[in-house]
Structure 1
Amino acid sequence: MQAPVQPPSAPLGNATPATPFSPPAAPIEQTATSSPTAPAATHPTVPSGNVAPPSAPSSAPASPTPPMPLGAPATPPPAAPVPPTAGPPVIPAATSSAQGGGAAAAPIPVSAARAERDLVAASAAAGALKRKTGGSDPLSVARRIAAALNAPDMSRPNDIGFFWLVALTADDTIIVANSYGIAYIPDGVKLPEQVKMVSADTAIPAAERARWATYPVAALTAWAQAHETTLRAVIGTTTHLEGIDPGAHKILLEDDDIPPSGKMTGRDRLQIGFPDAATKLAAVKDPDLIAQLPPAQADSAPPANETFTLWFDVMQPLMSAAAGREIAHLNAFALYAAHSADLALYRAHNAAETADQRAAITDWLYWLHQYDLLTEAQADVTAKT
């Protein structure tokens, strides 16, 4: 593959070249599940050593070109837990990057069958409970979000082992996790304002979040422990939760719970994973966008597109039940992030329309900060081993 664009002499992100992740010192224990569409093992134990993880690309990704005036955000202060919410109102994302075609985004989409069941349940509820919740039960909202995230347009059809789980904590905070990466969200997916993505929580060290990669039940449980709360319920499909004890009430989605489209209004992946970068970009006026980029390469030819091969390397560890698969998965993700950042940078320099340029810069910043997050996690893990 063509190496990603090298950084200037003083890289803004201070990312170090990636070296293989070492297994974390403390294991996360989970039980296994069997499903042709889910990861081969949903809950294996992360090893402390002497276990060979699935193979990963041996080459280390070169740092992608870092931002210029936008800058890499300083390490943000620890994020406070999201306060509980009684209902589903959301704030539309402050970004010009549009979701793809198809169904228009709804605040929280719901299937006709689930809407009918919720209406019956609400009608049967005691008046006191209705007054307490303002007529909107947080558990019902969490279930609708889980159903939306498992809609067919919320992931790419061939993403092996990718899925979402949603949980409700004891204080009615809605938290979500998926089975890929750290703070990874597929392009076009948005989350309502009140939803907390656990692997994007900077209050928890990157190395700790790295231990959760490929194990979303462990991610939800560990996040709750870190915030000194408990899980009230965990929600997902039968495929991904059958035979698993999440340590809380388990709610299995029915097939007719899933809406045709899961597109929601809310925050995009840059806003969720790297809000400082999103805020800075939103403040840049369209004529000034090009000034935010490092100089274009002298060679005007586009970088060789190795997305398919690199993404397959990201997915491959999820075909394995071997302990330590998250290590190989994250190593491959760092390569993919570096390559994706360079492809997005090329698109940003060559976009003919302002909207396309802003969207490309949004992608560039997302993957650039993904790379920095992965290398930060790697450095922390290596320092502890």
Structure 2
Amino acid sequence: MARRIAAALNASDNNAGDYGFFWITAVTTDGSIVVANSYGLAYIPDGMELPNKVYLASADHAIPVDEIARCATYPVLAVQAWAAFHDMTLRAVIGTAEQLASSDPGVAKIVLEPDDIPESGKMTGRSRLEVVDPSAAAQLADTTDQRLLDLLPPAPVDVNPPGDERHMLWFELMKPMTSTATGREAAHLRAFRAYAAHAQEIALHQAHTATDAAVQRVAVADWLYWQYVTGLLDRALAAAC
């Protein structure tokens, strides 16, 4: 199962070609599966679902945030740290040859070949909000369409939509990934925090202005997700100071 998940995460529709973005999958000796990627903290691309009982290392609430931040941009380190914190032993780490080339996980490497990777990596499971903040996801699921705005802060005073700077801010968070210098993780997390805060602002406006309940629910889910990520990054950056 871990190998199939690793292959799906590497499918082209789960990896849009963002510079330096990739997933690592690990399996422990007791069969637990943990995944990590090289971007941000608790980052899952929009629309992706993770199967039940698959852990996302950087979204583990039990691990101190400074430890999570230390492994940012280095997913092999992230799965190692996750296993160590939970007193588990990794059995294997799974990725492509390129992804595993510069790392020594200390356990078996299972190398994915191009033929292993499916055209579509779509998986059925939990949304990104369910993965990173299950309580918020449950609250959203229990909220009727008529009460969705109760989950949000008041609408911004400015009724005009915020300028969409997500493309530019995404480019900025990719820049540190071109470097192998020590400290790139802090630069990446600062840039990711700027992106997350802006994405949260846009989602808030979309939720307050949506006229269709289904569209509004998606926007509220986005706002809740980015609120969680922004808060996590704030704590990580504060711990690094």
User: Could you tell me the TM-score, scaled by structure 1's length?
Assistant: 0.61
Distance 2:102 2:37 in 1: 18
Task: Please give the per-residue CA displacement for 1:27-46, whole angstroms capped at 9, x wherever unaligned.
Answer: xxxxxxxxxxxxxxxxxxxx
1:164 corresponds to: 23
1:143 corresponds to: 3
Residue 164 of structure 2 aligns with which residue?
Answer: 305
Q: Secondary structure at the match of 1:177?
A: strand
Please tell me whether residue 347 in structure 1 is matched to residue 206 in structure 2: yes
Return the letter of the residue paired with 1:349: H
Find the aligned partners of 2:20 and 2:112 in 1 and give their Cα distance.
18
Quote the Cα distance in structure 1 between the aligned partners of 2:193 and 2:137: 21
Q: SS state of the match for residue 167, structure 1?
A: strand
SS in 2 for 1:251: strand
**Alpha-carbon distance in 2 for matches of 1:277, 1:243:** 37
**Residues 50, 125 of structure 2: 8 Å contact kept:** yes
CA distance in 2, matches of 1:244, 1:299: 49
Aligned counterpart, 2:233? 374
From 76, 93, 116, give the equivalent of 1:217: 76
Identify the residue that residue 333 of structure 1 maps to in structure 2.
Answer: 192
SS of structure 2 residue aligned to 1:357 = helix
Would you say 1:153 and 2:16 are equivalent positions?
A: no
Bigger proportion of residues as strand: 2
Q: For 1:262, which of 121, 127, 144 is the aligned residue? A: 121
Q: Secondary structure at the match of 1:252?
A: strand
Output one character per residue of 1:335-354: Cα deviation in whole Å (capped at 9) or x when no partner: 11110000001110111211
Match of 1:6 in 2: none
Q: Secondary structure at the match of 1:156?
A: coil
In structure 1, the partner of 2:37 is 178
| Closer, same or farther: CA 221–284 of 1 in aligned 2, 3 Å | same
Q: 3-state DSSP class of the match of 2:3?
A: helix
Taking the aligned partners of 2:80 and 2:135, their CA distance within structure 1 comes to 27
Identity, in percent, stands at: 56
Q: 1:243: how far off?
A: 4.8
List aligned pairs for 1:1-385, cutoff 5 A: 141-157=1-17, 159-382=18-241
Quick one: which amino acid aligns to residue 5 of structure 2?
Answer: I
Cα offset, 1:210, TM superposition: 0.4
Instruction: Give the residue type in structure 1 aligned to 2:16.
Output: R
Distance in 2 between residues matched to 1:298 and 1:177, nearest whole Å: 38
1:300 Cα deviation from its structure 2 partner: 1.7
> Which deviations, in whole Å up to 9, do the C-alpha atoms of 1:117-166 show, x marking residues without a partner?
xxxxxxxxxxxxxxxxxxxxxxxx10000000000011323x11000010
Distance 1:337 1:354 in 2: 24
Whether the 8 Å contact between 2:186 and 2:237 is mirrored in structure 1 is: no
Q: Distance in 2 between matches of 1:291 and 1:276?
A: 16
Instruction: Please say which structure displays the higher CA radius of gyration.
Output: 1
Q: What's the C-alpha RMSD, in Å, of the aligned pairs? A: 1.1
What stretches of structure 2 of length at least 5 have no aligned partner?
none
Residue identity opposite 2:10 in structure 1: N
Distance across 2 between alignment mates of 1:172 and 1:299: 51
Deviations 1:323-379 (A, max 9, x none): 110000001111111100000011101112111100000001111111111111122
Displacement of 1:182 after TM fit?
A: 0.9
Partners of 1:288 and 1:220 in 2: CA distance? 39
Is residue 35–residue 55 contact of structure 2 (8 Å, CA) maintained in 1? yes
Deviation at 1:223, TM superposition (A): 1.1
- 1:259 CA drift (Å): 0.8
Counterparts of 2:60 and 2:33, CA distance in 1? 13
Work out the CA distance in 2 between the residues paired with 1:203 and 1:302: 37
AA of the residue aligned to 2:6? A
Q: Which runs of 5+ in 1 are unaligned?
A: 1-140
In the alignment, the residues of structure 1 paired with residue 58 and residue 157 of structure 2 have an alpha-carbon distance, to the nearest angstrom, of: 38
Partner Cα separation in structure 1 for residue 10 and residue 180 of structure 2: 23
Distance in structure 2 (CA, Å) of the matches to 1:344 and 1:267: 20
TM-score w.r.t. length of structure 2:
0.97
- Deviation of 1:244 (Å): 3.1
Aligned length: 241
